Amino acid sequence: MDASKKHETPPEAADRKEGMRLLARATLAELSAAWEAIPDKPEVAPVRGPETGLVMVRGRIGGGGDPFNLGEATVSRATVRLSTGEVGHGQLLGTDRERARYAAIFDALFQNDARRPAVEALQRLIAARLEAEDRQRAEETAATRVDFFTMVRGED
């Protein structure tokens, strides 16, 4: 098979991975409000970035075959270290480096047992918004589904 076979996510990392998925979709308003609400904020030191670059997005031939390079996308990323020692990574599509830095901070806070509940509250908020948006879009699409019916033929 192809060389770019996905790394298996270690089970203990599954929560963090899902958390990072949500943080990548957070709005700046959600992130800054959650950050403002955190008491005794730790010091945040930059390790890398925030910076903007490119990721080559891949597709698969025929949808499920071997990979090919479809085209690039802008990505912003940041890595930060908290004064409490945790290192966090933030990475998301687009050029918003401020959001990437916040995402890294919350990823770092997520690894601190005392801080984690506040991060999870933010992630639940993001998840609820995304679910509502996806639901709305799915319902709008569903309304455009074609209902075929058979014409009655005048045989009798």
Nearer of residues 67 and 125 to other proteins, judged by Cβ: 67
We find the least distance from the C-beta atom of residue 119 to other proteins, in angstroms, to be 15
We find the least distance from the C-beta atom of residue 108 to other proteins, in angstroms, to be 13
The answer to whether the peptide bond before residue 50 is cis (omega within 30 degrees of 0) is: yes
Token digits of residue 45: 């030191």
Give, in order, the Cα–Cα distances in Å from 108 to each of 4, 20, 23, 62, 102: 28, 10, 12, 39, 10
Residues that bind other proteins (CB under 8 A): 2-4, 6-10, 13, 16-17, 20-21, 24-25, 51-75, 77, 89, 91-95, 134, 136-146, 148
Distance CA 110, CA 119 (A): 6
Distance CA 29, CA 16 (A): 22
Nearer of residues 144 and 151 to other proteins, judged by Cβ: 144
Nearer of residues 10 and 154 to other proteins, judged by Cβ: 10
We find the least distance from the C-beta atom of residue 144 to other proteins, in angstroms, to be 4
